[in-house]
Copies of this chain bind each other. A is one copy, B any other.
Amino acid sequence: MNPPGLTTACAAMLRRDLTLAWRRRGDIAMPVLYALIVTMLFPFALGPEDTLLQRIAGGVVLVTVLLAMLLALDAMFSSDIEDGSLEQLVLAPQPLALMLAMKILAHWLTTALPLIVIAPLLAGMLHLPTAVMPVLVLALLLSTPMLSLLGAILVALTAGTRRSGMLLALMLLPLCVPVVIFAAGAVAASQQGLPWLTPIAWLGAALVLLLVLAPLACAAALRIALDA
C-alpha cells in the first residue's frame, strides 16, 4: 500500500493523458485544421501578392500556431476539474509539480507537435523560402513548450472560475510577447541571411529556466485556485 514510485506514477500519468487524447483524436486534428484555415485567410485578406506573403510568412505562421495552441490550452485542465480528478491528483501522494509536468508534456505532445509538423506546410503556402524552414521549425520547437508551460500556470490559476478562453488569452499574451519576438527575430534573421543563433540561444535559455520553474509555479497556482 506504499505509494507507487515516481517513475511509475509519471508513466501512469503520461499514459492516462495520451490515452484520453487518443480517444478524442478528432480534437487533436482541430488545432491543425484551425491553423490551416487561418493561414489560408491571409492570402484572401491581403491579396495574393507573392513577395508580400513571403515577407510575412514566418510571422503569420508563428502567430497562427500561437493562437491555435491558445484555443487548445483551455482544455488542459478543464475536464479534469469538472469531474474532480484534479482534486484527486492534488491529494495524491506524489509531488504535484512533477505530475503536472507530465500533464504539460502530454499536452505539448498532442497539440504543439502536430502543429510543428504542419508548420512547414503552412509556411510553404505563404511561400516562405525552403532554406528558412529549419529555423522556423527550430524556433517553434523551442517556443511552443514555453507557451505550454506559461499557459499551464495561467490555466491553473483560472481553475476555480467559470472560465472563458478569452480571459486566458488576455493573461497569456503579454507573457508570450517576448517569446514571439525572439522566435520571429530568429526566422526573420535567417530569411535575411543574418546570423540567427543569438535569439535561438535566448529562447533555449528561457526554456530551460521555465522547465524548472513553471511546474512549481503551476502547482502553487493550482493549490491557490482549488482551495477556497
- Interface of A with B (CB < 8 Å)? 26-27, 30-31, 33-34, 37-38, 40-42, 44-47, 52, 55-56, 58-60, 62-63, 66-67, 71-72, 164-167, 169-170, 173-174, 177, 180-181, 184, 188
Docked-complex contact B184 and A34, CB < 8 angstroms: no
- Name 6 A/B residue pairs within 8 A (Cβ), A-sorted: A30-B166, A31-B166, A40-B173, A44-B177, A45-B59, A56-B56
Q: Are B46 and A59 in contact (CB under 8 A)?
A: yes
Q: Are A27 and B164 in contact (CB under 8 A)?
A: yes
CB distance from A177 to the nearest CB of B (A): 6
Q: Are A45 and B63 in contact (CB under 8 A)?
A: yes
Q: Which residues of B contact A72 (CB under 8 A)?
A: 166
Given contacts A47-B188, A55-B52, A71-B166, contact A177 B41 (CB under 8 A): yes
Q: In the assembled complex, which residues on chain B have CB atoms less than 8 Å from the CB atom of A164?
A: 27, 30
Please state the number of chain copies in the assembly. 2
State in angstroms the CA–CA spacing of A181 and B72 once bound together.
28
The reply to whether A173 and B67 contact each other, CB–CB distance below 8 Å, is no
Q: Which listed residue (B37, B46, B180) contacts A45, Cβ 8 A?
A: B180
The 6 A-B residue pairs whose C-beta atoms are closest, nearest first, are A30-B166, A45-B59, A46-B59, A37-B173, A45-B184, A44-B180
Q: Which of B37, B59, B169 contacts A170 (CB 8 A)?
A: B37
Question: A31 — which chain B residues lie within 8 A by C-beta?
Answer: 166
Q: Which residues of B have CB within 8 Å of A56?
A: 46, 52, 56
Question: Which residues of the partner chain B approach A60 to less than 8 Å between Cβ atoms?
Answer: 45-46
When C-beta atoms are compared, the residue in chain B nearest to A162 turns out to be B24
Contact A34/B71 with A41-B63, A173-B41, A180-B45 known, Cβ cut-off 8 Å: no
Q: Looking at the complex, which one of B66, B169, B177, B184 makes contact with A47 (CB distance below 8 Å)?
A: B184
By a CB distance below 8 angstroms, the chain B residues around A38 are 63, 67, 173
Docked-complex contact A37 and B181, CB < 8 angstroms: no
Closest to A52 in B: B55
